[in-house]
Every structure is written in C-alpha cells, then in structure tokens.
Amino acid sequence: MHILFIGDVVGRTGRETVAARLPGLRDALRIELAVVNAENASHGFGLAPDMADALFAAGADVITLGNHAWDRKEIIPYIAETPRLLRAANFPPGTPGAGSALVDVGGGRRALVMQTMGRLFMDPLDDPFRTTADLLARHRLGGTVAAILVDFHAEASSEKMAFAHFLDGQVSAVIGTHTHCPSADAQVLPGGTAFQSDAGMSGDYDSVIGMAKDAATLRFWRKMPGERLAPAEGEATVCGVFIETDDATGLARRIAPIRVGGRLAETIPAV
C-alpha cells in the first residue's frame, strides 16, 4: 500500500498549497491512503469546518488535529459528525469526536488511522502508550486491517522515539507531528514499523515554525507579551512522508521524506 502523510498545515498559505498539491501527489505516488494534520490551518490555531471540507475535497482521506484541536469552537459539532476528522485518542472519555478511524482503501481492504498526543511538555492527557495498546487489541495488522498509521503529536523527540519502538512490529508507521521541523531520521525500525520524529509543517519556512518571524522573535528577545502571533504568508513548502507497506504483513517496506515547493530543498520519492 502507498501511504502519504502531510505534516502540520499552517495558515492560509499552507492549506491553499496543500489543497493545490495534494491531487498531483496522489497521482504521482499512486497513493491509496492520504492523511493530513491540519490543527494549525486556521490562522495558525485550530481548524474550521469549511477548511476541513476543502482538504477532504482535495483528496485527504483522514485529517488529524492535536493540541489546538478546540481553538475553533465550531469544530466541536463538526467533529462529532465527521468520523474521518480525528482528535487525539487519549483525550478523556466523553470528549467529542474520535481518536481513530477505519478507512476503505480499495480492494476490500481497510486501514486504521489513529492519533495520540504525548505528555512531555504537553497537556497531561491519558497515557498514550496504554491508549494505543488498548485500541490495537481490537485490530490485527495484516489481518483485520491492511495498514495502521499513527500520528503521534508530541513535543519531545525522546517520547516520540520511545513510542515508535514500543509499537515496532505492531503498526505500519508512527509519524511525529507538532514541532513543525522536518527531522532527518526517516527509517524502518527493526520490527518493520516506519518512523520519522517529525513530518515537518506545510507552511512558509521563512518564519518561526510557521508564524511571522518579527513578532515571534521579539517574544524571545524582550521576554514580554506582544502582538498575537500570525502565520507567515509567503510561499509554502508541503512537507510529509511517503510510506510503502507490504501487502501481506502490513509492515513497512520503506519510508521517504517529501518536500515540495517553497524554501526547502525539494524531494519526491520515485515509485
């Protein structure tokens, strides 16, 4: 199976560029499952329903959120009726929405997509390790599902790496999000799980993690509250990863970074 994961979409330029590029990436890479993290799509904070609709229309099969899931309050009724829009699975019971979704990928196959959120330097949610283990007890890779992709939304690379090794051999891929900087550690772990600490953001890299650099820099320099941060509005780079899984086992054969447009050096894997 060919899987595309696109990292945190930031602001207008990010979401417009992803919407424009996604159909071509699906065709060029023969994508069967496309997942987009869009928790920063609305002016850098949250996601609005119309923006989610536009990403689904462009070819996203599943959209994931993160720590900014509830910044746009109108997403609460929308997520309750949109099973392919995911918040972190380790939010407490009773939280609107779902943390996982089963997706038909053709040929009578289904893929499981889920998101969990780390706890180191983040909000103290339920244990992501235990939450994931409980969910995986109901699904068998290479059996009930053809692929399992986990978006692990976390701050610390150590927690992301530990989480990936914990799941090695049980899921197709663990892809980190949240820090907005594409890491250079894409690899298939010994048990067959693809991993990258962070997929990077899809936004303007002439910025401070996607936000306009002048206001963001002043916060560090003066250590005083300033104007509300706003996304940088220059040309966006679409960042993400491509994963190819084995049809028999559901484990990863390879993982490769994707960078298209904008300021970063372009890389698109050959298929």
Residue 261 amino acid letter? G
Estimate to the nearest angstrom the gap between the alpha carbon of 95 and the chain centroid.
20
Whether 68 is catalytic: yes
- Check if the beta carbon of residue 173 is closer than 8 Å to that of residue 243: yes
Structure tokens at 241: 């990863």
Structure tokens at 124: 């103290």
Three-state DSSP at 226 gives: coil
Q: Which of 68, 153, 178, 180 is catalytic?
A: 68
Sole residue written with tokens 């650099």: 213
Q: Rounded distance, CA 19 to CA 95, Å?
A: 29
Q: Rounded distance, CA 115 to CA 94, Å?
A: 17
Based on C-alpha coordinates, what's the Rg of the chain? Answer: 17
Residues noted as catalytic: 68
